Amino acid sequence: MPASPSTARAINDRLALSLLQQEGPLTAGQLKQLTGLSRPTVADLVERLGAAGLITVVGESGEQRRGPNARLYGIVADRAHLAALDVRTGGVDVLVSDLVGRVLAETSVPIGGDTGTGPAVEQAVAAVERTAKEAGAMGAPSREGVRAWGRLHTVGIGAPGLVDPATGDLRDSGGLPAWHRSLAAALQERLPGARVTVENETNLAALAEQREGAARDRDTFVLLWLGHGVGAAVVLDGTLRRGASGGTGEIGFLPVPGTGSLPSARDCDGGFHSLAGAAAIGSLAAGYGLPVPATMDGPGAAEVIREAVAQAAGEDDPADAARSDAERPADRFLHTLADRIAVGAASVVAVLDPGCVVLGGEAGQAGGPTLARLVEKRLRRMSPLRTEVRASTLGGTAVLRGALLTARDHAQDELFAPPDRN
């Protein structure tokens, strides 16, 4: 059954807007070529999208000929502003962008572990408001039923822990600050005109790696997050899988050999977390006589691994480079760490057969191709399923990028649906 004229117009509009989002400003002629639509149809949609306030003329193409086709059309970037939050146990990172993803302002606010829930939430909310104002994203209140241009449209939050797929709320998780669960409601109350969404941090990191990072050519892969804690995100056939309770990828609780105990429902000690979390990485490095920072969080683990990779490559001490791998502490550390990571990765590979595992988080990125290659070599010995292991290209920034991409998707779903004009 052929689409109705109104449906066809909506499809064409979304196609044109998607191309402008991906490619940047385009001429009507370029839109015609990329969409395969007729010249009159393109002219009609350009006029319609311009009248809806979604696109505007942003310049000229530099083509020799004159006329309408020489005009460059682009998305009206300040049609909406977006905020992204990366919520950690020790604070929150915030950025605000326009509709095309250009970062306008950003900040990082530490929140001490002894800070009460109310004060911690207030610090985080104030950071969002301050960053939004710096970006010019806190305009006058919107008219009834109409969002005012320049106001914050969507807020995307990435946080550790389980997100209830039915309600979208962050569930109570052992070891995480109570203020995490109160933040979304507080932001919604203070920013009533904005849409506030929450997603698990590892899931957001996977979305970012799929769109902008190491998994851009993969429809199916697993992101193994290595940072303060460990986690996994599963993307199958291009779709992020969350599970019945939102817990897909809680690999920190995976019982594994070598830990001496079993995890519990509220404590992942004794699970894979005890082999590959930041504290475990610090203890392992210290055991090999490597320097360890005072604070062993995600950045601390990354520092240890980055230093070990440099030493293993012989970049720091030419004399050390002459020693065999078996004699060098940095090499022994990396080989043992790869053994540990492979234990968790092999379990995921055996169940899902993803074909690709991305070592994400600050520690995964710090290990780079060196650590990825060592883990892949071990997986070949442990599993008959061919699996490529790649290092993250986004590392610790992936959560913030994923939150921003998710916020942009939500905003575009609403804004890129211009009213039907019969």
pLDDT above 80 for 148: no
In the predicted model, is pLDDT for residue 210 greater than 70? yes
The answer on pLDDT for 167 being more than 90 is: no
Architecture of domain 216-393: 2-Layer Sandwich (3.30)
φ, ψ for residue 243, nearest 5 deg: 90, 170
Fold of 5-75: Arc Repressor Mutant, subunit A (1.10.10)
Q: Which residue ranges make up each domain of the chain? A: 5-75, 81-204+400-416, 216-393
Q: List residues bridging with 106 in a β-sheet.
A: 95
- Whether residue 94 contacts residue 397, with contact meaning beta carbons closer than 8 Å, is answered with no
Residue with structure tokens 């490597």? 290
The first and second tokens of residue 113, run together, are 């572990």
First to last CA, the chain: 20
| Of residues 176 and 411, more confidently modeled | 411
**239-242: long-range contacts (C-beta < 8 A, 24 or more apart)?**
240/203, 240/206, 240/207, 242/163, 242/165, 242/200, 242/203
Of 104-108, 191-195, 234-238, the least confident: 191-195
359 half-sphere exposure, CB direction, 13 A CA radius: 31
> With bands split at pLDDT 50, 70 and 90, how would you rate the model's confidence at 13?
confident
Per-residue pLDDT tens digits for 42-78: 999 999 999 888 889 988 876 555 555 578 999 888 8
Q: Which pLDDT belongs to residue 5?
A: 77
- The reply to whether 216-393 shares the fold of 81-204+400-416 is yes
pTM: predicted TM-score of the whole model, two decimal places: 0.86
**Adjacent-strand bridge partners of 198:** 157
DSSP states of 117-153 as a string?
HHHHHHHHHHHHHHHHHHTT---SPPPTTSPPTTSEE
Instruction: Give me the mean pLDDT over the 297-319 stretch.
Output: 83
pLDDT in tens, 398-415: 999 999 999 999 988 888
Which CATH architecture best describes the domain 81-204+400-416? Answer: 2-Layer Sandwich (3.30)
User: How sure is the predictor about 122, in pLDDT bands with cuts at 50, 70 and 90?
Assistant: very high
- Using 50, 70 and 90 to split pLDDT, how confident is the model at 321? very low
pLDDT over 60 at 324, yes or no? no
Q: Which residue, 199, 201, 207, 246, is CA-closest to 227?
A: 201
pLDDT, residue 326, reads: 54
Place of tokens 């020790």: 90
Query: Closest Cα to residue 225, out of 209, 244, 241?
Result: 209
The mean of the pLDDT values for the chain is: 87
CA dihedral 288, 292, 295, 298 (to 10 degrees): -70
**Strand, coil or helix: what is 309?**
helix
- Three-state SS for 337? helix
Q: Render pLDDT for 327-356 as a digit per residue (tens, 0 to 9).
A: 689 999 999 999 999 999 999 999 999 999
List the one residue out of 19, 193, 145 whose CA is nearest residue 419.
Answer: 145
**388-391 and 103-110: which strand pairing?**
unpaired
Q: What is the pLDDT of residue 325?
A: 52
pLDDT band at residue 6 under the 50/70/90 scheme: confident
What are 70's two structure tokens? 């020489």
- Structure confidence at residue 223 as a pLDDT band (50, 70, 90): very high
> Distance between CA 281 and CA 296 in Å, rounded?
8
pLDDT at 250 over 50: yes
- Which one-letter DSSP state was computed for residue 267? B
pLDDT in tens, 266-306: 888 899 999 999 999 999 999 999 999 998 999 999 999 99
Write down the pLDDT at residue 273.
95
Q: Rounded to an integer, what distance in angstroms lies between the CA atom of residue 267 and that of residue 285?
A: 24
Whether the per-residue pLDDT at 422 is higher than 50: the answer is: no
